[in-house]
Structure formats: structure tokens, C-alpha cells
Amino acid sequence: MSVAVLGSGAFGTALAISLAGAQPVSLWSRNPEHAQAMIEAQENTARLPGYPLPEAIQVTSDLEQATQADTLLLAVPMQKLRSVLVEHGTLFDRHVLVACCKGIELTTGLGPVQVIVETVPSAKAALLTGPSFAQDIAAGLPTALTLACADPDLCADLQKQLTTANLRLYRTTDTAGAELGGALKNVMAIACGAVIGAGMGDSARAALMTRGYAEMQRMALACGAKPETLAGLSGFGDLTLTCSSELSRNYRLGLAIGRSERFDPTVTVEGAATARAVDAKARGMDLDMPITHTVVGLLDHSLTIAQATAQLLARPLKEE
């Protein structure tokens, strides 16, 4: 099976670099000028500078050409996934579509696999998620990810196709758990960034991560996910990474909130829209998600850091 990565941001480019070590890979950019700049520089200087593109990568802005591949990795922001799939319609029919984004769609409350199934019913849907930064993957550093697909045979085939010298994939058929783990940890990363940004210390962050993980499990299990999925790479693993590194855009947004600093509005932060989507979903399911609700308050400026802290600390005492 041939492979194309659709989306030339940092993560999509990093995946293409890693995959190109074993096979030819197409890397699609929506912007023809960006595609041409990458071809000329043999590097994605705009999104992932310092990491040369291997010769096995064919950069293109022609989506019809890119979709000649059998397996398409969709490295586009979660909130734009549906529009990309709908806009280009039949080009995606009967392909294997692997979502490489994390989040919950704001308008529908659906995860990436669910969006693929709804918009391109003839396609086979999968999800690649887990603790990973683009720079690490592009540099060839060891990275382990979760590959989720409801079809166990297809999942095994994709695992073989997408495993590289530095990418080790673990497979699961629990797409709901993998979707929710990857989405909810971004919300908790914003919260942890705010805690550190406000100077509350590492102990407070550890407490917030722990209670945040309980919150993630609460929603995931209510949605039919398996608890072991949340305990794996796509849940606990990704939570650990994202809540502790400034390479995470979600964590950096939280830092800015905690420090009362301006955050660059041009930077895509999946956790911001996801927090609002999860908060609405939790209310509809009558689930207690206090950290998520607090993050929404911080994002909407209806809560200050002091108020958010007081609100969480004033919650009723209970058993763990």
C-alpha cells in the first residue's frame, strides 16, 4: 500500500520524514506557494525548520495526485477535518483514512474517527495518536503511538505499514477510547500550564494531572471506552507528555493564561475548542467535569486564575 500525508504542518511533515525512510511518501499542502517553497528548500522552513526532507518525499499541492495513494494520513486540525473531507468529496472514497489529529468537533461533539465515518462512509477509518512531538519524530527519536481501528485485520496491516525505525505503533480496536484520550488530555494540559504559569508549583500540577485523569476516565467510560485504553499511550502517556513540556501548544496556552500574557492567536491549539465541546457534551450526559468547566471559564475570561483556584478548592470533600 502507498502512503500520502495530507497536511504540511509540523506534525504532518514529521510523519512524512519518518515514513520516507521505508517507502515513497507524498506530502500534500493546501497552499501551492508553501508546497513550492518546500520543494525548493527541501525543508519545511515555515513549520518545521531544521529538518531536511528526504528524497523519497514528493511534495505536492495537487490533492488529486496525493489521493492516488491507498493510505491517507489526515494531518489537519480537528476543527477543519470535516470541511476538508466534505470539500473534496469523492477523492476520499474507498481509501484508508487515518486521522492524525486530536480533539472533539465543536459543532457535533464527535471525534475524528466518527467524523470520517459520517462524512466518507465508503472509506475505512483509523486514528494515529499518542505522546509525540513533531520535532522528536523528525529527528528520528524513539516514539511510541497508538493506532486505533475498529477492523482488527486492517489495524494489523496498518501497524506494519506505518511502523518505522523510530515509530513503534501499538494497535487497538477501541477507537472511542483513543479518540477521547487524545482529546481530553489537551484540556488538562491547558489547566496544568495555567497552574505552572500562575506559580502554584509542581505539587499542584501533579494533583491536577491526577484529578484530570480521573475526569478523562469518567467521560471515556461513559462513552463506552475501555479503561485500559485510557491507561495506555493515547491516554495516560499523552497526558504525561502534554502536561509537562513547553513544546505542547496547549500547555503553552495555559502558561500564558496563568501569567496573564497574550497568546499568539495564529497558533492552532486543539484543546481550546475541545474544552468547549467536552464541557457541552458533559452537561448533556450529566457528567461532573469540574476541571474542564474551569478551563472553559478561563478561556472565555469569565473566571480569573484566583477564582478558578478557589472554585476547585471549595468543592466538597470526598473519597478518591
Contacts of 251 (CB under 8 A, 6+ apart): 189, 190, 192, 193, 242, 243, 244, 245
- 185 included as an active-site residue: yes
Active-site annotation holder among 102, 124, 185, 281: 185
Q: What is the DSSP letter of 237?
A: I
Q: How far apart are CA 299 and CA 308, in angstroms?
A: 11
User: Environment class of residue 45 by beta-carbon count within 10 Å: exposed (0-12), middle (13-18) or buried (19+)?
Assistant: middle
Q: Identify the CA nearest to 157 among candidates 1, 16, 22.
A: 1
Separation between Cα atoms, residue 255 and residue 252, nearest integer Å: 5
**For the stretch 213-225, what's the b/e string if a residue is b when 16 or more beta carbons lie within 10 angstroms of its beta carbon?**
bebbbbbbbeeeb
Closest C-alpha among 127, 129, 69 to residue 95: 69
Write out the catalytic residue numbers. Answer: 185
